[in-house]
Amino acid sequence: MKVDYPPYAVANLIESTIDKIDYAKKLGADAGVKEELLSLYNEVHSELLNLKSFISVNEFSTDYTQMLAEALNKVSKAFPSGYGPSRIYSPLQEEDKPIFKRQQEGREEEIQKAFLQFKLVFDFFSKVDFFNKDLVIIGSNGAGKTFLARGLMNHVKHNGVIVSAQRILQLPEFNNIKSQKSTAEELRKIHTADKDNEELRFETSNDEFGILFQHLLADDVESLKNYRKKVQESQKVGLAIEPPNRTKLERTLDIWNSVFSHLSLSLDDGINIRAHRDGISFPATEMSDGEKVALFVIAKTLQSPENGFVVVDEPEMYLHPTIHKKLWDTIENEIPDSKFIYLTHDLDFAASRVRAKRLWLRNFKYPNYFELESIPKNDIPQVLLMELLGSRQDVLFCEGEAGSLDEQIYNILFSNYIIKPVGGCLSVINFTKAFNRLPMSNRKAIGIIDGDYISKNRLDKLQSQSIFPLNVPDIENFLLDEVILQKLDLEIGHTENRVDKTKKDILKLLKREREKEISKYVSAKVDHYFKDTNVSSGKSIIGIKANYHSFIKEIDIESWAKERGELIDLVLANDDYKQAIKIFKSKGLASIVGKNFKIENYNQRIVMLIKRDKELEDLLRQQFPDIPINPDT
């Protein structure tokens, strides 16, 4: 028989169970039970003390109190009823010790099982903040969302609704209106059947749509009848007549008409809903599947009780992204006292629930273990962050956009990472640092940025933050390595002077663009100096001015230009191609290769070559000595 536990029951159960454990520990030590069992006693004892402290400053819902009390009661029953403060401890007789040892160790599995169940209940509800705010739980197919939904339904019980539309819905036409009492009973049976179904599937009953709208119609008629009665009574005694409250049917149509500007709904005959588009009127039964789903979820959500829960499975089902966000925003605003719990795999939708706590449903073990991971607020955009946290791989941030050369190359060289291009150098740096600040011990991020004009001090600082600059100005230069040119030459048919001519042409271009290259170098160095160095604070205006002049004095444009010019001249004097591609940044380099090799789109040709040539792939990867191929190493 089910026991209803009052709010104080949890505190009482904690106290009595702690007493039992204390007594069992003393007897167990006296009887010489194994250390593993004593350690289990200590673990349970410690967890209960934590819970005792926690509940002293937190309030829980009635449903959660019941679940926690039931789990605690199982832990308590795992210890013999004779243990506790009412029994004065006395050492065991020698002949009793083997018997007691056997009895206690025989209960180890029962205690372990009950304790695990208790921890699952407490840990799960801790992670969802005891349903004190809206939740978005994100999980891929097979992650256990259906089983989690079953657990949530147990928590919701009669204090909420489950909203799902995983079947194509049929909205019938009506010839009459049933009574409010009969339609309410039919809806109750559908909801109860869902909750009692062991093989729970979040699928809408074939009849539910029709029953739901029959109930809305009956409620509408009943409300009108009650309002007329109220008006008549007010008129008799001369009271002012207040306007009627909006019925759930009226609210349903109002929400629809505010969201769907292209298609309005009305109840022209008082029984059947009609749709209106571009001056044409037709039965709502002829609306599209997505439109029917939207109408259903609006009506179903409004059935939630005051201060209740709305559990929504796949809120984006059948709905266009531009619609489902606006739809759920409008519904949330209509019933602001309700708590919404969304189960979804749509990251954009999850990010759009700004007032909700977001959780990843990472893993599930039957029957009731759910690995949930909180998605914290971070400098990384929420959609990107959720995508990254949804994978178990470490992350490599790089420059460029989706499909860019950077992403293609790093996907080949570092296949054990998630490769994420995030735009420019600054984004790579910021996202890498932000990801590594997340409270996760088993995940990390690295960043690779272009190596254009980076000083030794800046290089060391970046590497200490897991950010690794290329040893060339950008990824295009990375593909100009002489080994790659020779490999390509052999693949398309060796020609005696092709590689040498390419090298000479690139050196000639460097000579022509010498002054331009010096200017780019100095500009970049000034930019890095301002980003990496701050003006020292001063105690007065005079002090600030002095510090500012000291700061500016370090910018020596002429010296930096002379230094760069001398390096370029040395490279040119020695025909040092290897050094040239390390210092020279120009978008015309790839076109030189294409012209000499008579191929179009040199970069893509090289990407395909690296994919096919394992030796070349390994050789290129050696240029990143500080980045492990396998992140765990």
Per-residue pLDDT at 396 exceeds 90: yes
Is the alpha carbon torsion for 35, 41, 47, 50 positive or negative? negative
Q: Name the one residue in this structure whose structure tokens are 């040498």.
A: 500
- Residue 333 predicted with pLDDT over 90: yes
Tokens 């410690």 — which residue? Answer: 46
Assess if residue 2 is contained within a domain: no
* Under 8 Å between Cβ of 301 and 337: no
Encoding tokens for residue 415?
């296949």
Residue 450 has pLDDT above 60, yes or no: yes
Mean pLDDT lowest among 38-47, 95-104, 155-164, 583-592: 155-164
442 and 514, same structural domain?
Answer: no
Count other Cβ atoms within 10 Å, centred on residue 217: 23
- Looking at the structure, do residues 248 and 362 belong to the same domain, yes or no? yes
Task: Count CB-CB contacts under 10 A for residue 313.
Answer: 21
Tens-place pLDDT, residues 351-386: 888 888 888 887 777 766 777 888 877 778 888 888
User: Does residue 21 carry a pLDDT above 80?
Assistant: yes
Q: Are residues 332 and 356 located together in one domain of the fold? A: yes
Please check whether residue 140 lies inside any domain of the structure.
yes
Answer whether residue 633 is part of any domain: no
pLDDT of residue 23: 83
Distances (CA, A) of 19 to 16, 25, 112, 123, 520: 5, 10, 18, 23, 76
Lowest mean pLDDT, pick from 6-15, 336-345, 439-448, 471-480: 6-15
d(CA 450, CA 394): 21
Threshold 0.75, pTM exceeds: no
Q: Residue 466 and residue 257: Cα distance in Å, rounded?
A: 52
Residues 102 and 248 in one domain: no
Contact between 18 and 45 (Cβ < 8 Å)? yes
Burial (CB count within 10 angstroms: exposed 0-12, middle 13-18, buried 19+), residue 75 = buried
Same domain, 485 and 604: yes
Q: How far apart are CA 170 and CA 551, in angstroms?
A: 74
pLDDT at 568: 94
Q: Which amino acid is at 621?
A: R
How would DSSP label each residue in 528-572? HHHHH--PPP-SSHHHHHHHHHHHHHT--HHHHHHHHHHHHHHHH
Q: What is the pLDDT at residue 401? A: 93
| Residue 287 domain-assigned (yes or no) | yes
What is the percentage of the chain residues whose pLDDT exceeds 90?
23
Specify whether the CB–CB gap between 164 and 313 falls below 8 A.
Answer: yes
**Do 119 and 137 belong together in one domain?**
no
Which of 179-193, 205-219, 513-527 shows the lowest per-residue confidence on average (mean pLDDT)? 179-193
Is residue 76 included in any domain, yes or no? yes
Would you state the structure tokens that stand for residue 529, as one six-digit string?
A: 């100096």
Q: Which tokens belong to 629?
A: 């191929």
- pLDDT-wise least confident of 292-296, 425-429, 440-444, 480-484: 440-444
| Position 258 pLDDT exceeds 50 | yes
CATH of the domain at 346: 3.40.50.300
Element counts in the chain: helices (H) and strands (E): 26, 13
**Would you give the DSSP letter of residue 130?**
G
Of 103, 127, 151, the position where a domain reaches its end is 127
Q: Which amino acid is at 77?
A: K
The total of other beta-carbon atoms located within 10 Å of residue 575's CB is 11
What is the rounded distance in angstroms from the CA atom of residue 118 to the CA atom of residue 47?
A: 10
User: Are 333 and 299 found together in one domain?
Assistant: yes
Residue 200 confidence class, pLDDT cut points 50, 70, 90: very low
pLDDT at 428: 93
Total tally of structural domains belonging to the chain: 4
Tokens 């003006």 belong to residue: 535
Q: 388: buried, middle or exposed (CB in 10 Å: 19+, 13-18, 0-12)?
A: buried
The answer to the question of residue 600 being in a domain is: yes
Predicted local confidence at residue 79, as pLDDT: 78
Q: Answer for the pair 114, 78: CB distance below 8 angstroms, yes or no.
A: yes
Q: Are 393 and 631 in contact (CB under 8 A)?
A: yes
The C-alpha atoms of residue 325 and residue 319 are separated, in whole angstroms, by 9
Q: Using the 8-state DSSP alphabet, how is residue 286 labeled?
A: G
Q: Cα–Cα distance between 631 and 194 in angstroms, integer?
A: 45
Is the confidence at residue 193, as pLDDT, over 60?
A: no
- Rounded CA gap, 454 and 437, in Å? 25
Mean pLDDT of 507-514: 94
Lateral strand order in the sheet of 309-313: 160-163, 309-313, 339-344, 135-138, 357-365, 369-374
Q: Is the domain of 76 the same as that of 22?
A: yes
- State the average pLDDT over residues 572-577: 96
Q: Whole domain around residue 603: which residue ranges?
A: 475-621
Residue type at 416 in one-letter notation: N
Give 141's DSSP letter: T
Residue where a domain terminates, one of 69, 99, 127: 127
- CATH at residue 465: 3.40.50
458 band by pLDDT with thresholds 50, 70 and 90:
confident
Same domain, 453 and 480: no
Question: What are the CA-CA distances from residue 503 to residues 219, 517, 579, 610 (Å)?
Answer: 83, 18, 11, 21
What is the distance between the alpha carbons of residues 337 and 134, in angstroms, rounded to a whole number? Answer: 11
**pLDDT confidence band for 195 (50 / 70 / 90):** very low
- Most confidently predicted of 320-324, 421-425, 454-458: 421-425
Q: pLDDT, tens digit, for every residue of 263-299?
A: 999 988 777 889 999 999 998 889 888 888 899 899 8
Contact 330, 259 (CB under 8 A): yes
Classify residue 387: in a domain, yes or no: no
Average the pLDDT over 141-159 and give the result.
69
- Distance CA(24)–CA(27), nearest Å, equals 5
- pLDDT for 203 equals 43
Strands (E), 422-553: 445-449, 467-469
Lowest mean pLDDT among 50-59, 250-259, 465-474, 513-522: 50-59
Over range 461-487, report the average pLDDT: 90
What percent of the chain clears pLDDT 70, i.e. is strictly above it? Answer: 84
Choose one of 425, 440, 469: the last residue of a domain: 469
Q: What is the mean pLDDT of residues 377-398?
A: 83
| Lateral strand order in the sheet of 467-469 | 417-421, 394-398, 445-449, 467-469
Report residue 281: phi and psi, to 5°.
-110, 140
Does residue 420 register a pLDDT over 90? yes
What's the pLDDT score for residue 196? 43
- 57-92 residue pLDDT tens: 777 666 667 777 878 888 888 876 655 555 566 777
pLDDT confidence of residue 363: 76
In this prediction, residue 538 carries a pLDDT of 58
Please tell me the distance from the alpha carbon of residue 299 to that of residue 306, in angstroms, as a whole number.
15
Q: How confident is the model at residue 406 (pLDDT cuts 50, 70, 90)?
A: very high
pLDDT of residue 511: 95
The tokens for 467 are: 């950010």
Higher pLDDT, 10 or 83: 10
Asked, for residue 628, whether it belongs to a domain, the answer is no
CA-nearest of 554, 547, 549, 548 to 526 is 554
| Mean pLDDT for the chain overall | 81
Bond preceding residue 367 cis, omega within 30 of 0: yes
pLDDT score recorded for residue 1: 44
